[in-house]
Amino acid sequence: SIDSTDEQTSAQFKVMLLGDSGVGKTCLLIRFKDKTFMSGSYIATIGIDYRNKVLVVDGVKVKLQIWDTAGQERFRSVTHAYYRDAHALFLLYDVTNRKSFDNTRAWLAEINEYAHRDVIIMLLGNKCDSEDRIVNREDGERLAREYKVNFMETSAKTGLNVELAFIEVARALRDKR
């Protein structure tokens, strides 16, 4: 019916970006929202902030409210309060930083503790443009299989897979509805 179409076009979902400080959460959001990247200038996010973005997925509008969180440990308790309302979570690590990859297990434990049980999770290996890569694509794929989450490698710098990652999540959200 017309009503259900209206409902579909006004679907709004809360999405959160999680992961260690410096993995590229803010850059990923800026790339997605503004199609830009400013290299060199690293400004750590303080607390939490959001930006809205409307995506058209298979001809249907999907509104995403994207929460960019601070990766720094001292802001974690602030972030926890937001997990519960999130429909989807992007968990980022930096393919040039082994520690950020290893830490994703701790992040997944936090997600398990604080997020809704059927939240959609997308694991992202970011900075895949870099020549300093030390985490292989296979490592990310294996982890994603183990935890039964979605996985992609992205580059906020070049834009590789950034829009696609959001579209995949938006599609999963729409289908679940």
Question: Could you list the residues that contact ligand GTP (CB under 6 A)?
Answer: 21-27, 39, 42, 44-45, 70-72, 126-127, 129-130, 155-157
Nearer to ligand GTP, 46 or 54 (CB): 46
Nearer to ligand GTP, 13 or 107 (CB): 107
Partner touching 106 among ligand GTP, Mg ion, none, CB below 5 to 8 Å by kind: none
Helices 104-114 + 76-83 axis angle, to 10: 50
Nearer to ligand GTP, 26 or 104 (CB): 26
Distances (CA, A) of 20 to 9, 55, 142: 34, 27, 20
Q: x/- site string to Mg ion, residues 12 to 31, per CB under 5 A?
A: -------------xx-----
Which phi and psi angles does 152 have, rounded to 5°?
Answer: -150, 160
Which phi and psi angles does 124 have, rounded to 5°?
Answer: -125, 125
Residue 72 binds to Mg ion (criterion: CB under 5 A): no
For the bound state, the minimum distance from the C-beta of residue 7 to ligand GTP, rounded and expressed in Å, comes to 34
**Pairwise CA distance, residues 120 & 122, whole Å:** 7
Residue found by looking up tokens 């694991």 in the block: 123
Burial of 45 (0-12, 13-18, 19+ CB in 10 A): middle
Residue 69 binds to Mg ion (criterion: CB under 5 A): no
Interface ranges with Mg ion (CB under 5 A): 25-26, 45
